[in-house]
Amino acid sequence: MVPEGARVQRSLGFFFREAIVRLGRGCNVLRLTFERSIHLWLLVPAGLLFLMFTVFPLIYNGYISLHHFQFIRRIFNFVGARNYIRLFQDGLFLSSIGNTLRFVALATATEVVLGTGLALLFNARLRGRRIMLPLVTLPMMFPTMVVCAVWVMLYDFEFGFLNNFLRFLGFSPIQWLSDPKIAMESIVLVDIWQWTPFVLLVILAGLQSIPDYLYEAAQLDGANGFQMFRHITLPLLSFQIKLAILLRLIDTFRIFDKVYAMTGGGPGYATETISLYIYREGFRYFNLGYAAAASLVMVFLVLGISILYARRMWKELRV
Amino acid sequence: MRHWILISAVVVFLGCLVVGAEPVRLVFMGRDGPYEAAMKLAISLYKMVKPHVTIEYLGLPWAGLREKITIELVEGRGDFDLVVLDDPWTPEFLPAGFLEPLEPWFAKTGKVVDPDFIPTALALGRWPYPDGTLYALPIVGNVQLFAYRRDLFEKHGLKHPPETWSEVLVAARVLAEKEPDIFPVVFRGAKGHDIVVSFLPILFAYGGNIIVNGKSGVDSPEFLQAFKVYLELARYAPGDVSVYRAARLREVLLSGKAAMALEVWPAWIPELDDPKVSMVVHKVELVPHPGQVVKTAPMLGIWLLGIPATSKNKAEAFDFLLFVTSPEIQKVMALHVGNPPTLMSLYKDPELIARYRWYPAQLEALLAGVPRPRVPVWSRVEDILGGYMHEALIGLRTPEDAVRAAHEAIVAVLEEERR
């Protein structure tokens, strides 16, 4: 017969041993789980910041957009979708969407075509390339307000360099910023001057990653320059080109500073863009509910276009 | 030199009174550019009088100042002790009680509001306008003036100064024919604020206004008539007048390329007679605007200084407010930085008149000046009107169409405001 005390002692010992083993196993499972999902844990700080600074403001913006929120007079009344209805009844808002899309299309297309051309030129190992490349990329390093001030002087109808040059050549001067037919194109030109170098750098990086042996093999097969460009360069550059389009698309969609500094949305409403419209409603009239609705429309427009485009890009990349 | 001796005496006397006082830090939010130079000059002089008070000045451009002031006043954090306001902002801020009423402070300190303040400018710091509670004191006596080249008018036998807008039109026609290298007329034609402000003296002279008894006055015959005169004058202006803002107008005027400027603000051009920057020394006359149906009526553009109701240093802020609006300091600011005073006597001061010969005319304009409509939605009204007027200026709409569209949009804004 085992004494009662010893039996209790043994069962206690068994219990503790079992507990330690199970704890060890549990820890092991935890450790393994942690190790397997370490990549997710590392994302937690960034995720929290994303929630705090992107998701929460977006949700809050959506909440505000359902209210008549007059900041100065401290009015905050629920109005449902009325702000959105008013937005789509406002001709100025609709024309500002049209102007923005026009700016996006013109600027992005020209910058990508020009940037690709310049990148091909710089990739051709020309003499003086090392000096020229930093010079060509200078415009994107200047503050936009300085760029605008310089271009406003260049565009001056009476005394500007461009019109003086046209007069010298015997042409009539152009109302660069005061003619509603070309004011938007004049601003697009400034954006092209400033941001084509960015596209150039993205494409040049892509070009330099294409191995030389592909061209050598093509040359051996008797391919000419255009054929090599069409069948080697262009397909291998397509990701960089699409990336440049996506980045410029998102950036040009937000166009505000150049329009604000150069035309203020004029002449008339010819260069009024969505950002300028939102700025005016939000920071000049302090109609924050209405401005929030307009900004949400803009976010969904950009997001819609970007997601569709990016999904296609990634799909092609996977293939 | 005399004013410096006077200032030094005041400084030494007051300085003796405050030796040993507790240090205080005031934060002052105001405009940038020449206004900042004037305020910083006053702050440096105040530092001599009250060495224990440190004033930090935050100078901002017009739009930035409005945004920051709005956020500061609505949030009521009490971070600022003094704020500068453009006069059209007061119908938004004063009824909401964002600023400290000044009369109790005058009573507490045994002082009175200087009767020398230009009445039209002082009234803009009161709510209800023009004789309610006093919330802010005027510190910049800006008013529009009409500018013309006396030498050109005399050369071509034109009557000057023109007394009516019809005479201005006649002069523009003659000058266009006889002085092909000079623009007969220049004005600020940029969309929004600029075009509206440059048009107001003509509108007022024709007896019209943008808001009449709380309703849109844009559909009145006076408005249309005045607008047609404005567009007629634009035919004699530079081809790109529709992008002209203050800086461009100043440049063209000082370079001698313009014969008449529909509106000039004296604070822009203190160096009109300075040969280092001006090609038209003593050739340009600044006078009150021509009249038409009614006598001259320029637009006031007064900057006011007030104390936020949430300031933690109201007594010190009030003391500085009295200091900066005192005749001695206003005179120094006018002489050294060209800041237009807000006291009537300074416009009659021989030393100031010797420096700025247009001061008597400026006082006349200030006394007759009309403020922009006292409605809280002024910025929206101004943007609407400025947009449609601009479309007419560049030929996208007829004047009738622009006026009709602007009227409808303004009516909608005013109705929304009432709801």
How distant is the Cα of B3 from the closest Cα of chain A, in angstroms? 40
Distances (CA, A) of A154 to A149, A160, B190: 9, 5, 18
How distant is the Cα of A34 from the closest Cα of chain B, in angstroms? 46
CATH architecture of B2-142+301-368: 3-Layer(aba) Sandwich (3.40)
CATH architecture of B145-299+377-418: 3-Layer(aba) Sandwich (3.40)
DSSP class of residue A232 equals I
Q: Rounded to an integer, what is the distance from CA A317 to the centroid of its chain?
A: 20
Please state whether beta strands B284-287 and B145-149 pair in parallel, antiparallel, or not at all (unpaired): antiparallel
pLDDT of residue B295: 84
Query: Which sequence spans correspond to the domains of chain B?
Result: 2-142+301-368, 145-299+377-418
Please judge whether B243 and A284 are an interchain contact, meaning their C-beta atoms are less than 8 angstroms apart: no
pLDDT of residue B5: 59
Any B CB within 8 A of A72 CB: yes
Q: pLDDT, tens digit, for every residue of B322-347?
A: 999 999 999 999 999 999 999 999 99
Any A CB within 8 A of B17 CB: no
Give the separation between CA B189 and CA A157, rounded to whole angstroms.
14
pLDDT of residue A202: 95
* Structure tokens that stand for A17 in this block: 């041993």
Strands in B82-86's sheet, in edge-to-edge order, are B53-60, B24-31, B82-86, B303-306, B136-140
Beta carbons of B331 and B100 less than 8 angstroms apart: no
Beta carbons of B34 and B337 less than 8 angstroms apart: yes
pLDDT of residue B14: 53
pLDDT of residue A2: 58
B96: nearest CB among A73, A178, A284:
A73
Distances (CA, A) of B191 to A263, B144, B321: 8, 19, 35
Any A CB within 8 A of B228 CB: no
pLDDT of residue B4: 58
Predicted TM-score (pTM) of this structure = 0.84
Any B CB within 8 A of A181 CB: no
pLDDT of residue A318: 75
Which residues of chain B have a pLDDT value below 70? 1-20
Beta carbons of B236 and B217 less than 8 angstroms apart: no
Same CATH fold, B145-299+377-418 and B2-142+301-368?
yes
Any B CB within 8 A of A160 CB: no
Element (H, E) at B57: strand B53-60
Which residues of chain A have a pLDDT value below 50? none
Q: What is the CATH number of domain A89-318?
A: 1.10.3720.10
